[in-house]
Structure 1
Amino acid sequence: MFFTNWASLGRIAVVGVMVYVGLILLLRTSGKRTLSKMNAFDLIVTVALGSMLASTLLNKSVALADGLLGMGMLIGLQYVITWLSVRYSAVDKLVKAEPTLLVYQGQFLHAKMKAERVTEGEILTSLRERGIASLAEAAAVVLENDGTLNALQHESADAPHSALKNVPKP
């Protein structure tokens, strides 16, 4: 239960180092966006990579080459999807959620908050993190496609926020 044999531990040590080095090389060659904090699609790929790493490391029936090929395939598919999403808006809309406006011109948008399951407390926290003292000072709070809340302070009374260009208004 606590110890099978030295060969099993030796396999884990050798395969562990090799799969780690292989994964680092795959990630370095695939670019910065492979594990970036972007959207649910990226999270799924990251979790799948972790699962493949664990399977390759701990499952004796998974060969090192099989694990590396599986991880390489996932990273390659991720690269293709991000490449396509940059070039084709239909692919981008398929894999990414659009940002949601939760506060606009100092007013909570309760229907949007309810649909996105965000509380007033979470929104007030995002205001405090940006140094915005009151809801009236907030031009907007946006739930981004990666799940983060961004609060924007009023710029001026007559100038709309250009950062809200891609966010659907109420």
Structure 2
Amino acid sequence: MMDWIATSWSAVGMVLLGGLGMYATVVLLTRIFGLRSFSKMSGFDFAVTVATGSILAAIFIAKDPPLLQGMAAMIILFAMQAAVAELRKRFSFVQMIVDNQPRLIMWGGEIDEKQMLKAKITRADLIAKLREANVTRFEQIHAVVAETTGDISVLHGPPEEMLELRLLDGVIGAERLTNVTSN
């Protein structure tokens, strides 16, 4: 039972060394590849962020994998993310494979149950996001979009205010909106 609680000073030193090494690696890679490394602009970005945390945790608390293996894994992960980001910019089919598409799940007071089902969002999730966005009446809602990252964007304002259609470029179902301007 004591081995669950106690450890040796050399093990603590290795955790410190591993932590410093991985911290320096992440800082260096972030400087090289940019802040996009920890963005949540696409599902792929989110997966890379989770994988980064997993690698860091593995190196911090275990002697296997070794520090250099963890550093190599981070370099490969960051390079893959940069490569995918570049391919997404150059080839639309890569973007279609890697990214989800944003979906219009509500406009005005109308909830699109079909799009909510496809986005795997419940009515309770939607209502919670409306409250979070300080919506006090359904008439204030111009559009609610399930974003590619899983976030929900609530576009709202006075009912007489028009929503610019450009804000919904690439959103599935945006063609249904009628009270918009195409400025």
TM range (shorter): 0.7 to 0.9
Q: Which residue type is aligned with residue 162 of structure 1?
A: R
TM-aligned CA deviation for residue 69 of structure 1: 1.0
Matches within 5 A, 1:8-87: 8-87=11-90
Q: For residues 122 and 54 of structure 1, do their structure 2 counterparts lie closer, same or farther at Cα, with a shift above 3 Å needed?
A: closer
Q: For residues 50 and 158 of structure 1, do their structure 2 counterparts lie closer, same or farther at Cα, with a shift above 3 Å needed?
A: closer
Partner of 1:163: 167
TM-aligned CA deviation for residue 131 of structure 1: 4.0
Provide the identity percentage: 29
Any idea what the Cα deviations from partners look like across 1:2-51, whole Å, max 9, x if unmatched?
22322111111122112211221112211111110223211221121122
Q: For 2:9, which of 3, 6, 11 is the aligned residue?
A: 6
What TM-score comes out, normalization by structure 2 length? 0.81
Q: For residues 4 and 124 of structure 1, do their structure 2 counterparts lie closer, same or farther at Cα, with a shift above 3 Å needed?
A: closer
- How many angstroms apart in 2 are the aligned matches of 1:110 and 1:41? 26
Partner of 2:106: 103
Residues 142 and 163, structure 2, Cα contact 8 Å, conserved in 1: no
Point out where structure 2 has 5 or more consecutive residues left out of the alignment. 177-183
RMSD: 2.2
Q: Which residue type is aligned with residue 91 of structure 1?
A: V
Using the TM superposition, name which of 159-168 and 74-83 deviates more: 159-168
Using the TM superposition, name which of 122-131 and 68-77 deviates more: 122-131
Matches within 5 A, 1:114-129: 114-129=117-132
Point out where structure 1 has 5 or more consecutive residues left out of the alignment. none
- How many angstroms apart in 2 are the aligned matches of 1:17 and 1:160? 48
Q: For residues 104 and 54 of structure 1, do their structure 2 counterparts lie closer, same or farther at Cα, with a shift above 3 Å needed?
A: same
Residues 127 and 134, structure 1, Cα contact 8 Å, conserved in 2: no
In the alignment of these two chains, the number of paired residues is: 170
TM-aligned CA deviation for residue 157 of structure 1: 7.6
Q: Which residue type is aligned with residue 18 of structure 2?
A: V
Q: Which residue type is aligned with residue 47 of structure 1?
A: V
Any idea what the Cα deviations from partners look like across 1:104-150, whole Å, max 9, x if unmatched?
23311112122323233332333344443322332211111111111
- How many angstroms apart in 1 are the aligned matches of 2:38 and 2:148? 15
What TM-score comes out, normalization by structure 1 length? 0.87
